[in-house]
Amino acid sequence: MGGPPARGRFGEYGGRYAPESLVEACREVGEAFREAWADPGFRGALARLLAVHAGRPTPLTPALRLSEELGVRLYLKREDLTHTGSHKINNVLGQALLATRMGRRRLIAETGAGQHGVATATAAALLGLEATVFMGERDIERQALNVFRMRMLGAEVVPVTTGSRTLKDATSEAMRHWVGATGDSHYCIGSVVGPDPYPWMVRELQRVIGDEARAQCAAELRTGVPDHVVACVGGGSNAAGTFAGFADTPARLVGVEAEGGAGAARGRLGVLHGCRSLFLQDGDGQITQAHSIAAGLDYPGVGPEHAHLRDLGRARYVTVTDDEAVRAAVRLARTEGIVPALESAHALAWVIRAADDGDLPAGSTVLMTLSGRGDKDVSTLKELL
């Protein structure tokens, strides 16, 4: 979880499985990012954007009443308090700044529920770039409000009518479109997935979560380091960024997936979107559709570094049902006055279950990344409660 992986590989995972022209474009992005990341000028400019536009650093909140009930000491890293309401802004501001440095005028992005699309449109507007966002036709129907947000921010939203007309197809379409536009456009991937360098570049851009949390834990906890570090996993970017801050500590790392999107816990080796990793597949090796109440966890695979951390036993991956996540969201609302995103509620649901069944011993300290706020999910919750 340090620098770039050798030859773009995390163990047997990762790589660059793409058409020749994209392999070249990815090589350029990797080279430019490596240079930028070593340049204090770039780091300083990004840190300033994160501070004055995104609202960093985010607080570490002790969840006092819930901790009392659970018999553990739970601390929440508050990515829900960032501008646009989730950790996604950390990644898109970094990539937008990189695109500017590379002389690109336009960002291309894929989006499922629209969260990454809105974040990309936001970063593009801030830096005076154009944004083209690919979105499945079915998702466009289901997420009308986010489509409107993107258009209001000046982005073009392109409906994708192929396949299941959801995120997987939008990603394929965005990559296809990039082939013809690599000269003036940067493809801004939303998680630690896709061809090298995206998995480690996005992890580096999200490690601000883990680095801040590490320093905050050092100041707040008697032991300095929490016993457990927990985050939800869709593609795995908020978890990868969080884990990176604790890689060299004895903290136990736990990634929580949706029962219906458990790439790390239940996937098999495959290749999708330019990357070798673990994916949900049917008997014929076809990648299957993920299903989760949390749109951000609705991805049939997981980033290659998580697959590798699982093999190494450095991190463990567990699953939570829709129902458990909904109950956890309500419990956090009523004990702490925080309505979490349903994605983040998955991480909390595991903490609650593990505290109840002794998997988390009484008195353990737990750092959990609260990846986003629940405003986007209130209509879903309203149907259920």
Ligand X SMILES: *Cc1c(COP(=O)(O)O)cnc(C)c1O
Two tokens, residue 44: 């300083």
Cα 310 from chain centroid (whole Å): 17
* Whether the Cβ atoms of residue 274 and residue 195 lie closer than 8 Å to each other: yes
Min CB(97)–ligand X separation in Å: 19
Q: Is 365 in the site for ligand X (CB under 6 A)?
A: no
Rounded-to-integer distance, Cα 261 and Cα 140, Å: 21
How far is Cα 243 from Cα 248, in angstroms, rounded to an integer?
10
* Distance of closest approach, residue 20 Cβ to ligand X, in angstroms: 28
Out of 79, 86, 88, 212, the active site residue is 88
Among 175-183, 233-241, 283-291, 319-327, the segment contacting ligand X (CB under 6 A): 233-241
CB atoms within 10 A of CB 68: 12
Kind and range of the H or E element at 106? strand 106-111
Known catalytic residue: 137?
Answer: no
Token pair for residue 156? 């073009």
Asked if 238 is part of the footprint of ligand X (rule: CB under 6 A), the reply reads yes
- Of 26 and 325, the one with the shorter C-beta distance to ligand X is 325
Q: Enter the tokens of residue 306.
A: 């998580």
Nearer to ligand X, 324 or 343 (CB): 343
86 contributes a contact to ligand X by CB under 6 A: yes
Q: Is 257 in the site for ligand X (CB under 6 A)?
A: no
Stretch that binds ligand X, among 52-60, 169-177, 211-219, 229-237 (CB under 6 A): 229-237
Which CB sits closer to ligand X, 186 or 373? 373
Which lies closer to ligand X via its Cβ, residue 270 or residue 296?
A: 296
Round to the nearest angstrom and report the end-to-end CA distance of the chain. 40
**Please, where are the H alpha helices in 137-166?**
137-142, 144-152
Residue numbers 166-205 binding ligand X by CB under 6 A: 191
Token pair recorded at residue 352: 């609650």
Q: Of 66, 262, 341, 352, which one interacts with ligand X (CB under 6 A)? A: 341
Q: According to the binding rule CB under 6 A, does residue 232 interact with ligand X? A: yes
Helices (H), 161-197: 167-179
Residue range at the interface with ligand X (CB under 6 A); choices 145-153, 211-219, 232-240, 319-327: 232-240
Site string for ligand X, 11-40 (x = CB under 6 A): ------------------------------
- How far is residue 108 from each of residues 85, 176, 195, measured CA to CA in Å? 21, 11, 15
CB of 235 to ligand X, least distance (A): 4
Whether 68 is catalytic is no
Distance of alpha carbon 367 from alpha carbon 72, whole angstroms: 11
Cβ proximity to ligand X: between 49 and 341 the closer is: 341
Question: What is the C-alpha separation between 113 and 379, in angstroms, rounded?
Answer: 14
Q: Is 234 in the site for ligand X (CB under 6 A)?
A: yes
Q: How far is the CB of 91 from ligand X (least distance, A)?
A: 8
Residue 88 a catalytic site member: yes
Tell me the two tokens of residue 170. 């939008």
Alpha carbons 13 and 380: distance in angstroms, whole number: 35
Residue type, 162: T
Residue nearest to ligand X (CB): 372
- Nearest residue (CB) to ligand X, 212 versus 343: 343
Tokens in use for 204?
């580096």
Q: Which residues bind ligand X (CB under 6 A)?
A: 86, 88, 115, 191, 232-238, 296, 341, 343-344, 371-372
Catalytic residues: 88, 110, 371
